[in-house]
Structures are given as structure tokens and as C-alpha cells.
Amino acid sequence: MKIHKSYKFRLYPSSASKGHLANTFGCSRLVYNTLLREIKDKSTKSTEKQLKEIYPFLKDVDSIALQQSRINLQTAFKNLKEGRARYPNFKSRKSRQSFRTVSTNGNIKIDFTNNTLKLPKLNPIKFRDSRVFNNPIRQVTVSKDRCDKYFASILVEEILPDIKVQPLNSNNTVGLDMGVAHYLTLSDGTKISNPKFFISLQRKLKKIQKKFAKTKKDSKGREKLRLKVAAIHSKIANCRKDFLQKLSSLIIKNFDGICVEDLNMLGMLKNRRLSKSLQDLGWSEFCRMIEYKALWAGKTLLKAGRFFPSSKNCNCCNYKNSSLRLSDRVWTCPSCGQVLDRDINAAINLKKLLLNTLGTREIYASGDNVRLKPAFAGNAVVGETRILSL
């Protein structure tokens, strides 16, 4: 099976290369903003050739990067039409800068011996990373973040070896319940604490932002404080990403079958008391990592429907406690008398859902007993439950 895999490297360009990169960032942004303005004004759409006649300096940068700016704008309007995004905005030089170029006829070369990356119309740029790949490069996205650090995201095409899917049983499967007090609760009773990366640095960030708000616009002191604010946000993002990568890899390594919840994040963020904590968790990114890593490793991943009552159902007798509130962390089943921890009970129910979905037994979902087929493949949809990889 062919997959597209991205390798992100930190770049260390020279002063001359920084100038060339700044020109490419600016020219790509100019093409994007010009075409967007023409669409808004309903005027005649220009081509790259016409824009080069108006702005001769566009000839000094990679022409493929300019073409990709047009493609990016087309993609933005396609996402708008299909309801996945809002109306595109003009790009600003004060935000994250980036451009993308496509590999054609060996115009992009990477040397792992000297750790250099050669891009069109640019001198070789040093990078730092220990990873090596032998697959051909499809495209490269070069970016500069708010901390003035440069990165290259290299997209390659890899072929995964055929992996035989192992039969699932109660020993190699797990249900994952996500929460705020504990980031993750496993069906075996293991609880992983919430690291609270943003909240731990919130006081320091607030102190610097107060100083930043009092500085004079376009002053050197304002720029220094802007970099400090950006550095804190970057540290929070990097710590969270490192935590999620290690946690998702640990889950994939130890279990062959995984069941997670399909949470309504937009609805949950409307809760003002929990919105800050929920945004700090990164649940969507964790589920995304679990999904592609399960695909690469040949593991089975099932995403339970949003209305599956994992917390309200007793895992012993299937009694549904409709009056269960969010504040009820422990409750006693009135049917069988079992004392249930809310999170562990939900994780066990998710594990049972996985085993029952892949078998022929009946499961208790959304208040009704439904019989599911014994085998699925690809992205089969089963009521409210999706099998993402098998």
C-alpha cells in the first residue's frame, strides 16, 4: 500500500539564503493576494505570465512556488464551497510565512552526508536531523514561524509492507476514554494525567503580554517582546506535540485493537468553564495520530458514535443511567449494585463495543440492541460507529 509521509526538518539558512527565502515568501504571498483581490473585485483573472510583466522581480524566484500559490487559492475556495472552511483571507507578512515547490526533473535534492537541502534558485541549505529516507521527494514546503525559525516539510511516497491483521481478543484490545481531569483512561484501569501545558505557562505568558501591550508600535522593544511571546507559544505547542506523539506510539505499540470516541468538540467548546482546558488537550490531534499510526502498523481502530452512551451504561449489566451528570465521577448501578468509576466504566464499554462490533454478538448502542456484521474493511460505516483501519 502506498502512503504519503512527511518529514519535517529544521533549516539553518545563511544570511544570503534568508534573503532569497524572504523574496520567495513575499512573491508567493503577492501572487496569492493579487489573485484573491481580483476574485473579490470580480475583475479579469491574471496569469503568472501577466503578473511577471507587471512585477518583473517575480522572475527571480521559483516559478513552481508561484504556481502553487494559485493552486492554494483554488483549494481554499473548494473548501469554502464544500463547507470545510471560511472565505479565504489575505496573507500577511506578519504571520507565518511559507511556500511550496514540487519536485520535477531532479530540481530538489537532499544530501544526508552533508545535511543539506537544495531547492530551485537557492543555494544548499543546512538542516539538522538524524532521520534518513531513500524514497523520491514529491514536494517540499518551506516555512518560517513567528519565532523566526525555518523548517522544511518534505513529502515522500512510501510503500508499506503487507501486514497480517492479528485476531482480536480481550488481551490485545483497549478502550480509550478521554477526559479533562485525566487525559486518558484505559479499559485496564490505567489513568494518564493531564499535563496542562498551556495552564502551566499561563502566568508567565500573561506577564509578558502585559508588557507587550504597553510598548510602542514598530519599536525594537516591541519586537523583542513579540519574540518572547511567540517562544512561549512555540514551547507549549512543542511540548504538547511531543506528549501526543509518545502517547499515541505507546498505545499503538501495546495494543492491536483500539476504540476511541467521536467527540463533538465544537459543541463542548461552548462550555465557558471547560473551553480553555479542552483546547489545551489536543484531542483531535491525538485521534489523528492514532488513526494514521494504526494504518501504518496494521492495527484495528474503531471510532464510536457520538451518541454511544459509554459513561451512562453499566459495563456489567448494561443498565442505562439516563440521569448521570458530568459532575458524577462515581456512581452505583441501581440494577446490579456495582460501584462504577465513570471514566473506567466508559473505557470498558468502548472496549466491549470494539469486540462486539468485530464479532457476531449483539451490542447495546444508543439505547437499542443492534446486530452488526462480523467483518469490515476500509472505512465501512456501521450506524454511528466507524472502523477507520482494519
Q: Is 343 a catalytic site residue?
A: yes
Residue 42, judged by CB atoms within 10 A of its CB (0-12, 13-18, 19+), counts as exposed
Instruction: Kindly name the residue from 62, 256, 261, 280 that is annotated as catalytic.
Output: 261
Helix (H) or strand (E) holding 102: strand 97-102
Positive or negative, the CA dihedral 258, 264, 266, 269 is negative
- Alpha carbon of 51 to those of 57, 126, 128: distances in Å? 10, 32, 36
Q: Is 285 a catalytic site residue?
A: no
322: DSSP letter = T
Q: Is 256 a catalytic site residue?
A: no
Alpha-helix runs per DSSP H in 135-258: 197-200, 202-214, 220-254
Closest CA to 355 of 191, 171, 164, 163: 171
Instruction: Kindly name the residue from 62, 256, 280, 343 that is annotated as catalytic.
Output: 343
Instruction: Kindly name the residue from 62, 177, 256, 280 that is annotated as catalytic.
Output: 177
**Contact predicate 338/332, CB 8 Å:** yes
Closest CA to 98 of 169, 1, 24, 199: 24
- Would you name the residues annotated as active-site residues? 177, 261, 343
